[in-house]
Amino acid sequence: MSDFIFKSASELAMLIRAGKATSTEIVQAHLDHIRKHNRQLNAVVQFFEKEALEIASECDKEAEQGKFRGSLHGIPMTIKEQFSIKGTPSTLNSNRLKNWIATDDSVVVERLKEAGAIIIGKTNVAKELFDYQVYGDVYPVGKNPYNLGYSPGGSSGGASASLASGMTPLEVGADFGGSIRIPANFCGVYGLKTTEDTIPRKGIVPRKKGEKAFVFNMAVAGPMARTPEDVELLWKVLVGSHKSDRNTPKINWENIPDKRPEEYRLAWTDRWEGYEPSSETQEVIKDFVELVTSKGYKTERAIPDKDLHGRSLSLYKRLSLQLIMQEMPWYVKPLFVKHIKKSVFNGNKTKLKWKFRESMLDYSEVMGKRADIINEWETFFEDYDFLICPSGFGTAYECSKPGEPINYRGEKIAYMDYVWPYNACFNSSGNPSLNIPLGIGRNGLPVGVQIVGPYWSEPELIKFAKHISQYTTGFVKPGWY
């Protein structure tokens, strides 16, 4: 295995700038690594070898002249299949879009290229981005690098698996209900769900010709990496306003308070009402809180009152169905709802509310309730800098038929209740949240914790992760490499 594999993007960038390695060497090493291991994992589903090596050669010539495109100059990376790259498919692993070819780059891809990144491939996703496993009509089933019989998470499962297996130092995922944080947790890497509307959404989802639907509430792009330093490196490239999306505010991200650990006040919980995680997850969180407290942070067991978590989940179900079905013919909607009730939402505790015909008033009503929920979460964060909470019920689960109960250490959990309730609540609220890996659990699979902050607190979340990573196990390389 090459010395470049499993190095961080920050380290690789330093090597290129110091003239100690070329982009061509680094890109070739990662391409070779993908070729060697991808058949086992099905993580990378589109492979841009020729183009990548051509761009690497250009980057090397520029580096020799002391010219650098940006912070990611010459760094190879992969990106989730849903993002538009001109001339490449974005199928969402579905026959519905199997012939869809992008006519231009998404804003995310534009920014990566401008920063000098070299996209060497696209990674596997769940069909229509609608599950926490990776399977579909177009690509083979995605696997977890720590145990090939287990899910890598979804929908950004190929992203997390490619990171954990060393195929890429950086990834960009997208999160509509946990699709960054859950794969990050299942594969033991960092994954940041960004504050809603801080990364432009142009090109985040393929749209067939003639489609009119344009509302993308709750869906965000975000960085994934093996180190918090790399999360920060990538986040700085992606974030910020763009002419294509006037909803993206101009924020002074540099104005970060220089606080000492003892000036932070952190809330924590190891469960939510009606969704108590496994004993192992509770132990992991309590151990993490003890660690954080020992480093000077003030911690307090606290959650918002008035069942804010439960109401956030209920709102998510209503709003997500409105968004997913916004262009479905009315007569197709009951068939779709029947399908998801029997599959992914089989046995879930909260009721699915939907209508044959959704009016503008229905959507307006939901958005009004959402505004109230956002305000309640932000009010909670007036007293606390962050909230430490579970990323899911337990570690990654075995690949299974969607909708079947998940068996974890002798306990049977409703399929969607295993991870969805711990993540979708923060899509409802729009708050940023970061999965922090904490090593390997008793069953040989990664364990982690979720850290949530108020709107626009990404710099402080990353700063906290960088500080505490000095004392945690963090990312652990899969043993079979």
Give the DSSP per-residue string, 159-178: HHHHHHTTS-SEEEEEESSS
Question: What sign does the CA torsion over 424, 425, 430, 436 have?
Answer: negative
Domains and their CATH numbers in the chain: 9-468 (3.90.1300.10)
- pLDDT score at 481: 66
- pLDDT score at 210: 74
- pLDDT score at 431: 98
Q: Where are the alpha helices (DSSP H) in 91-227?
A: 107-114, 157-164, 181-187
Strand partners, 243: none
Which residue's entry shows tokens 């090109």? Answer: 203
- pLDDT score at 326: 85
The DSSP code for 262 is G
Which residue's entry shows tokens 């003030």? Answer: 298
The DSSP code for 83 is S
Among residues 422, 434, 425, the alpha carbon closest in space to that of 458 is found at: 434
Residues acting as catalytic residues: 80, 155, 179
How far apart, in Å, do the first and last CA atoms of the chain sit?
A: 8
Cα separation, 84 vs 362, whole angstroms: 31
Cα separation, 205 vs 92, whole angstroms: 9
Collapsing DSSP to helix, strand or coil, 316 comes out as helix
Contact 446, 188 (CB under 8 A): yes
- pLDDT score at 358: 78
Cα separation, 252 vs 283, whole angstroms: 38
Strand partners, 452: 387, 433
Collapsing DSSP to helix, strand or coil, 275 comes out as strand
Cα separation, 114 vs 72, whole angstroms: 9
Cα separation, 480 vs 39, whole angstroms: 14
Which residue's entry shows tokens 């926490």? Answer: 132
pLDDT tens per residue across all 481 residues of the chain: 789 999 999 999 999 999 999 999 999 999 999 999 999 999 999 999 999 999 999 999 999 999 999 999 999 999 999 999 999 999 999 999 999 999 999 999 999 999 999 999 999 999 999 999 999 999 999 999 999 999 999 999 999 999 999 999 999 999 999 999 999 999 999 999 999 999 999 999 998 777 766 778 999 999 999 999 999 999 999 999 998 887 888 888 877 778 999 999 999 999 999 999 999 999 999 999 999 999 999 999 999 998 999 999 999 999 999 998 888 887 788 888 888 888 888 888 777 777 767 788 889 999 999 999 999 999 999 999 999 999 999 999 999 999 999 998 888 999 999 999 999 999 999 999 999 999 999 999 999 999 999 999 999 999 999 999 999 999 999 987 6
Cα separation, 308 vs 291, whole angstroms: 28
Show Cβ contacts of residue 131 under 8 Å, excluding neighbours closer than 6 positions: 154, 155, 344, 402
Among residues 433, 178, 131, 449, the alpha carbon closest in space to that of 313 is found at: 178
- Output the six-digit token pair for 97: 């879009």
10 Å CB burial of residue 257 (0-12, 13-18, 19+) is: exposed
